Structures are given as structure tokens and as C-alpha cells.
Amino acid sequence: MKRLVIIGFITGALIWLLALPILVGLFLGDWVEEWTADWPEPDAVDFRSGWFRSELNWTSADGIDLALQARHVPPLRPGLVRIEGLVSTPMTPEPAQLNGHLGLTGAWHLQGRVTKVASPATPGLEAHAVHINLAQPSGQPLTLILRAEQLRNRAEPAAPDLRDLRLMARHRSDDHEAHHLGLDLELEADNLGPAGLTLSAGPADPQALADLIDGLSQWATAQPDSLAQRMGLLTVAGAWQQLAAAGLVVQLERLRLGENVRLSGRWATALPQPQLEGGGQTTELIDWHVGLATALAAQTPDQAELEARAWLMTLAQHGWIRLEEEHFRVQVPDRPNQP
């Protein structure tokens, strides 16, 4: 009897250490295909399933290189596979190291850190000490959390440093495969104070949403007044019409700038205009516009202030805001808001 127990134990250990890893490798092939199905069409993709280790190498047309390894042995615990690797992008001088795990139920988690991220759209704009956390529990929305200790525009000395930036984005698909998106942003700006944004949007057609992102990217990276920039705007306009026709609703749950500026609202995009409410100190709103425009858009402080004041006057003339001495108040214009 004792010998049978020993034989059974050895057999179980061999299955655990030898048979289980190859079964995990076979499972990973199907999982990788499903995991990358919604990604952009790659320039090159290579998945190799081994006995004790599987590898995925994925390269996009815009220069993103992802190299991941999944170690099947020794097993961490039942249903869990260790993942590690590197991701390189045109925005990161050094590759970001990634590590995480994959559950055989489909849940997965990746995290990493990169010392610096440089913006291709705004020369001189850099994020430092960026932490990445990407996770999708089984049956739950995909969540991305980005944290940066500092965001600085080296090309504009007057721009304030943005510190302790934390962005959380959520994504889920409903039964009709429409996307629902959520975003939370918190940051602290030198000499300006804290800011926060909570935004949600959905339902969004996947193809129209992809076209919108492509159009915005083309518009942002093209030369001003170029054919490429105009084509990007046309792509954005067409995608937006499709999203509105499909019932996209954008909810601004909160926008907080400093101590006094507060805004919230809702826009059923099939309607001609959003519903907004809130207000605050006019000077604080202008200061925030100047700070963010110099930090993120490479404007000079004088340019940004002139733009902010002109923008406020235009909104007041069209009835979107009411200026009251040192304060402003958002109001809905007196015109029909029904289709």
C-alpha cells in the first residue's frame, strides 16, 4: 500500500511538472489569438508554443514592439502562468519591463515601469517615472492605470510641472459588441493646485471608434494646413457621425480645476448640443488654460492667455456662459435641443 502511495505521488508530480506545462502551452495559443484580435493589424507577429515556455513577438506599423514570455514550469499554482517581457515604442528611449500573470480562466494582469516617455506630437514634453498597470479579471472590464511622478515641457520654461499624475481608463464590451469607455484623471500642477476629470462614453461602434482614433492621430501628427491634416479631420467627422447615429452618450461626471472651477454635463451626441452646468472664478480658469496650454501644447503664456480670453468672450456671445464680474456660470443656450 505504501508503495502504491509513493508511485501515485511520483506519477502526480510528473504530470504536474511535465504534462501540465505542455497543456498550458496549447491553451496559450488559443488565448493569444483571442487576446490580440482587437489589436491593430501588425507588421509582424510570431507566437511559439513550447513545452516549458511560450513566446509572443508582436510588431505594429507605428513602431511598437512587444516581446512576452510565458513560463509554464515550475507552475506558480493551479491555473496561473507567469508572464514577463519588454515593450518598446517610439515614445520610450528605453524599453519598459513588464511582468504579470495569466489565469487559465482568461483573467490576466501586466505591470511595468519606464523611466521616461517623450511625446512625438509636442517636442520637449516628457513624462518621468511612469508606472503601467493593465488588468482584466475574468468577466470584468479591461482597466489601464498610468501613473507619472512628473510631466514637464522642457521646450517652454514658463510651463508648470504637472506632478503625481494618475490616469485610469476602463473598457468593456456589451452583448452587442459595442464599447463602453471610462476615464479618471488626477494631477497636481505647480502654482495651480489639484485637478480632476471623470468621463464616460458609450455605446460606441468598434470600427467607428477605431476610425475616430486614427483620424485624431493623423490630424495631431500632420503638418498644419496640410492635405494629411485635412484628411484626418474628414476621417474624424465621418467617424463621429457614425458614433452619434449609433447612440453615443458622453457623460462628464466632473471636471475640477483648482479650488473653485467645477463643471459637469451630459451629451447625447445625436442631439445638437450638450447639457452643461457649473462655473467658478474666471481668473482661475484662465490660469489653468495658460498652464495646460504651455505644458501640453507648446504655446507661450501670452498666446495662451489671449486664446483663453477670446474663447470666453465667444462663449459668452453665443450664450454658453454668463460672465459676472470675477466669476463665470455655464448656461444652456435658449434654443431647441431636440432632434
What are 316-331's pLDDT values in tens digits? 998 889 998 899 999 8
Which of the pair, 155 or 73, is modelled with greater confidence? Answer: 155
pLDDT at 38: 66
Which residue would you say has higher pLDDT here, 142 or 23?
142
* pLDDT tier at 261, thresholds 50, 70, 90: very high
CA–CA separation, 158 vs 165, rounded Å?
Answer: 19
Q: What does the mean pLDDT of the chain come to?
A: 84
Residues forming beta bridges with residue 249, ordered by sequence position: 202, 268
Over residues 59-81, mean pLDDT:
75
Give the three-class secondary structure for 213.
helix
Is 60 exceeded by the pLDDT of residue 11?
no
Query: What's the average model confidence in pLDDT over 21-36?
Result: 67
Q: Is the pLDDT assigned to residue 168 strictly greater than 80?
A: yes
pLDDT at 27: 66
- Report whether 143 contacts 166 (CB < 8 A): no
Collect contacts of 286-294 with beta carbons under 8 A, ≥24 apart. 286/312, 287/192, 287/258, 288/189, 288/192, 288/195, 288/257, 288/258, 288/261, 291/159, 291/160, 291/189, 291/191, 291/192, 292/189, 294/153, 294/156, 294/158, 294/159, 294/160
Q: Confirm if 81 and 52 have CB atoms less than 8 A apart.
A: no
- 236 pLDDT more than 60: yes
Query: What average pLDDT does the segment 253-267 reach?
Result: 94
Per-residue cell: 321: 456662459
Is cis: bond before 224, omega within 30 of 0? no
- Answer with the residue of higher pLDDT: 10 or 97: 97
- Asked which of 71-80, 141-150, 234-243, 316-325 is least confident by mean pLDDT, the reply is 71-80
Percent of the residues in the chain that have a pLDDT greater than 90, as a whole number: 42
Q: CA triplet 135, 179, 119: central angle to 5 degrees?
A: 65
Q: What's the confidence (pLDDT) of residue 290?
A: 93
Average pLDDT over residues 285-310: 91
Tell me how far apart the alpha carbons of residues 67 and 86 are, in angstroms, rounded to a whole number.
5
Q: Domain ranges in the chain? A: 206-245
pLDDT tens track for 130-139: 999 999 887 7
pLDDT in tens, 79-111: 577 889 999 988 898 899 999 988 777 788 899
Residue 53 has which C-alpha cell? 515556455
C-alpha cell at 257: 480645476
- pLDDT attached to residue 339: 39
| DSSP code, position 223 | P
pTM exceeding 0.85: no
pLDDT band for position 280 (50/70/90)? very high
- State which H helix or E strand residue 249 sits in: strand 249-257
Q: How confident is the model at residue 57 (pLDDT cuts 50, 70, 90)?
A: very high
**Tens-place pLDDT, residues 169-206:** 988 877 667 888 999 999 999 889 999 999 999 999 88
Q: Is the peptide bond before 301 cis (omega within 30 degrees of 0)?
A: no
Residue 10 pLDDT > 80, yes or no? no
Contacts of 151 (CB under 8 A, 6+ apart): 125, 126, 127, 128, 161, 162, 163, 165, 187, 295
CA 157 to chain centre: 28
